[in-house]
Copies of this chain bind each other. A is one copy, B any other.
Amino acid sequence: MATIRDVAKHAGVSVATVSRVLNETGYVHEDTRKKVETAIRELHYTPNEVARSLYKRKSRLIGLLLPDITNPFFPELARGVEDEMQENDFRIIFGNSDENMNKEKEYIQTFEQNNVVGVIASTNHPDSDTYRKLRIPVVFLDRTADNRPSVYADGREGGKIAAHEMIARGSRQITVMQGPKHIRPAQDRYQGAVDVLSEQGVPFNVIMTSSFSFTEAGIWAKELFEQHPYTDGVIASNDIVATAVLHEALRLGKKVPEDLQIIGFDDIPLSSLLTPSLTTIRQPAYDMGRTAARLLIRIIENENIDQNTIQLPVTFTERETTRKVEQHG
């Protein structure tokens, strides 16, 4: 690999000059620039980012920490982040945390050790020391932290909408699936739904779940219908469990949406391809990723930020696991 000194020698100038043309800083005579550029081309030179990063104490890398990329919601998020970062010449060191604080810590440490300029993290503990002590800008994604940069969708509102729509469509024996306790957005959704249901005096049951994994989703679906065989409406904690519930319901011979309505959460890509296609509370995952990336870049580049925490809207995405609401008027 050619170094800047090779280029300098080849072009008959000093390394400082080469560095200047590389970075377009300081004065460089037009003729000199040409010579240097030729040398760079001839030697196929590309600057060593590591050396650069060492001196500047800043790389062009950012750290991305997500719970589990195997959950189809997160690839969308990741893709949004990546596309925006790519366009701005930042690259990504990526890790899955499995919602596990130790793994998180390990990754955050790696990020620091590699001089990343910023971090985007979906963590359940934004207030932990790990983040408080971090001297690198962080944007929390799909999570909130008071007054720290974050991009998220309004889970509580989503839960409320789900409950409202479920009631409006006539379900009266609703089951709410409470997502994993330690996952904040899951709890928000749950709370939102429960609030509305209580307020409206609609009876409901709760099924607790402890993960979002595909393998376990089926188990909870079974559990649901064993414990509450007569539910006529399920508000699921995300589209994965909603899919499992739908699957189990059909297996049991229930008619969806006639006997049973289901509302999911997230709107993962497959939701619209299910049969019946899944009614869900959509989160604009890709946009969230892009927005978070954009926010982080602005922070890194020291632009002044008008808005630290950005909330993106959730939208009720009506498909076929809910009945049509009667037109009034």
Contacts and interface: CB of A to CB of B under 8 A. Distances in A.
Interface of A: 1, 46-51, 53-54, 59, 61, 64, 68-70, 72, 74-76, 78-79, 82, 86, 91-96, 103, 107, 109-110, 112-115, 135, 214, 217-218, 243-244, 246-247, 250-251, 269-270, 272-275, 277
Contacts of A275: 246-247, 250-251, 274-275
A244 B47 CA distance: 46
B91 A91 contact: no
A76 B215 CA distance: 14
Nearest to A106: B86
Contacts of A78: 69
Contact of A79 (B72, B96, B114): B96
A113 B69 contact: no
Contact of A114 (B50, B86, B269): B50
A69 B69 contact: yes
A93 B96 contact: no
Nearest to A72: B72
Contacts of A251: 275
Contact of A113 (B46, B72, B95, B217): B46
A218 B86 CA distance: 29
Nearest to A286: B70
A251 B75 CA distance: 28
Of A72, A114, A272, most buried by chain B (CB within 10 Å of CB) is A114
